[in-house]
Chains A and B, each alone.
Chain A
Amino acid sequence: MTETATKFSYTDFVLPANTVSHLDLARLVTELERIDNEMTTTAVRTKAGTKKRVARSTHSERLDAFLLANNFKLTDSRKRTAILKQLRLLKDNAPTIHMTFATEADPASLERLAQWLRESIHPHAVIAVGLQPSLVAGVYVRTPNHVHDLSLRGKLTSSHEILVKELETINGRG
């Protein structure tokens, strides 16, 4: 029973919407490592019969959401260790999509975009956010092998010929 419970892969993990970037995943791993250390220490002390009470560690919203989304409990040390291991693997292998915006992206919008990406493209996709004011509006998406210029600047550039034709028409050369 316990063995079955610890046999899972990071590919089965569900990433919550508030885990947007690769940095968020790294923070998640760090936090889980800290909690794992604390709980292991507590368990050892309890076994050793230490009377001193250990304060319960607090979880971040990101970790809570992750645990809730995957229906995990951290009480079992073996499962905790397995989650930690798979989470590290997920951190190293999660596909990153670079998204550059014209203005500073707010967390809610990023969560919405991450959600769409995980539903439509890849369940473990994370976003690397960039800022480029010259884009004016829209987004500049860079996947591992391609770029997709969905910005207003890109639109204008692609519509350049049309604008030239319009100017020619105005000049009476069309």
Chain B
Amino acid sequence: MALFAKKQSIDEEMAERERQFLDETFKEELRNHARLYFQNVLKENGEHFKEALTSTVTDLNTELKSHIATQFDGALAEIKAELKEHIAHQVEAQLSEQAGAMKEVQDKALADITQSAQDLEARHQELAREFEKSLADHEQTLDSVFNDSKAQMEKMKDSHQLALQWFSESVKALQEQHEQLETRLGEQIEAQKEMTLKTFEGNMARIVEHYLLGALGDQFDIKAQLPSIIKQLEANKQAIEDDMKL
């Protein structure tokens, strides 16, 4: 605004001076001079304008920026508030919707859980009854097994006692047998020794006989033996005669 006002005053001053110097040359000179001046002025003003414009643009920019920022901040704040409100509203609506669904689901789940719990309780009771029954059976079985085992243990104890007794008797008998066996073995060894010695002597006698027979073989003919044979026959005459009469 100030810029436009200044420009207007310069134009008026120029028109005044122009009227004073209405001479043509002068006017020409003036015109030239004015032209030059005007050019300079224009130039200066252009520069000033440029600077002012620049400054104005800068200021404007700054202000605009500031304004926009302010406006943007306001709008942003508003939008933010609205958005917040909207979101809150939406969230609340969704939450309420979800809460209803959740409640429904919860109710259903609760009903299911209640049913399951009831079933479970019934099953538990049934199992408890079965368990009790089974336990009673087991107790009974265990009692009978325990009693049987006890009886068997008693029997085993008796058997063990008997076995121990039998074992000690057997050991005693075995010891006696061992002693008898030892005695008999000693006797048998002695007898065997005696028999072996006798056998050896018998065999030795046979060996002697064998060598004697070998040495005497083919030494006698019948003619040489005849007197001896007849002598022996005479000695056995009665026996031979009796045998012939039979």
Contacts and interface: CB of A to CB of B under 8 A. Distances in A.
Interface of A: 95, 97, 101-106, 108-109, 112-113, 116, 120-122, 125, 133-134, 136-139, 141, 143-146, 148, 150, 152-153, 156-157, 160, 163-164, 167-168, 171, 173
Contact of B232 (A105, A138, A144): A138
A120 B226 contact: no
Contacts of B213: 134, 136, 152-153, 156
A117 B7 CA distance: 213
A113 B226 contact: yes
Contacts of B216: 136-137, 152
14 contacts: A97-B240, A101-B222, A102-B217, A103-B218, A106-B222, A113-B230, A120-B237, A137-B219, A137-B220, A138-B225, A160-B205, A160-B206, A163-B208, A173-B197
Interface string B129-146: 000000000000000000
Contact of B212 (A116, A141, A156, A168): A156
Contacts of B232: 138-139, 150
Nearest to B209: A156
User: Which interface residue of A95, A144, A156 has the most chain B CB atoms within 10 A?
Assistant: A156
B223 A106 contact: yes
Contact of A144 (B205, B212, B243): B243
Contact of B217 (A113, A133, A163, A164): A133
B233 interface: yes
A112 B226 contact: yes
B205 A143 contact: no
B15 interface: no
Contact of A148 (B219, B239, B244): B239
B201 interface: yes
B77 interface: no
B234 A120 contact: yes
A70 to B, nearest CB: 22
B229 A138 contact: yes
B228 interface: yes
A171 B200 CA distance: 11
Contacts of A109: 222-223, 226
Given A97-B240, A103-B222, A121-B241, A116 B230 contact: yes
A8 to B, nearest CB: 23
B204 interface: yes
Given A138-B228, A160-B209, A148 B236 contact: yes
